[in-house]
Amino acid sequence: MADEEAFREFVTARWTALLRTAYLLTGDHGRAEDLVQTTLEKMHRHWRRIERKDAPDAYARRVMTNLAISQSRRRRFRETSIAFAPQIAARDGANSADAVAVRDEVWRALLLLPPRMRAVLVLRFFEDLSEAEVARTLECSEGTVKSQTSRGLARLRELMRPDDPDDEPAGARRLAPITTTPEGMPR
């Protein structure tokens, strides 16, 4: 009975954070909810062992990331939906509309990255995990995390480069529309 209560407390306390991470990994709110649900189902089966090791957050991240990567490999057709964009607050007096536009542009570029590379960037910069923690979560070497991070950031910079810097006001960026092949792969 105590295990059930501890699991309920974990779910209640971490649901929002897990859903946010899942959304960043999948790019779709519905798939993110499914991913969190599947993760929690797997955790519930092994809760006593997970709780004993005092590592439910790490276990949840590992399961969620592995599921997201394996699901993306199995999907024959991929959907790219940007209808639901996370809301952000303006910082340092910046124009709220500009901040949302930049956030949306980064988000659309992130969706174009391969799932594993996206997972590395989400875990490193959104979850604020160290390279060692990301390596443990993804069960790979720290060198792989470093190279995926470097390549991912380079690809994001490339995707977000303005077409003609002279036409753009300072700080503005333009991302080409997302187009996909019949199999749903970005072109």
Kindly list the domain boundaries of the chain, sorted by start residue. Answer: 2-74, 96-159
> Which pLDDT belongs to residue 75?
53
Q: How do residues 80-115 score in pLDDT, each as one tens digit?
A: 444 444 444 444 555 677 778 888 888 888 889 999
The model carries a pTM of 0.57
- Per CATH, the architecture of 96-159 is what? Orthogonal Bundle (1.10)
> Which pLDDT belongs to residue 170?
42
> Which pLDDT belongs to residue 74?
58
**Number of residues in the chain:** 187
Of 13, 94, 5, 76, the closest CA to residue 44 belongs to 5
Q: How do residues 116-154 score in pLDDT, each as one tens digit?
A: 999 999 999 888 899 999 999 999 999 999 999 999 999
Q: Which two tokens stand for residue 136?
A: 């443990």
Cβ neighbors of 15 (< 8 A, separation 6 or more) are 36
> Which pLDDT belongs to residue 107?
85
> Which pLDDT belongs to residue 54?
79
> Which pLDDT belongs to residue 178?
46
Residue 125 is classified by DSSP as I
Element counts in the chain: helices (H) and strands (E): 8, 0
Q: How do residues 45-79 score in pLDDT, each as one tens digit?
A: 989 888 887 789 989 999 999 998 887 665 544 44
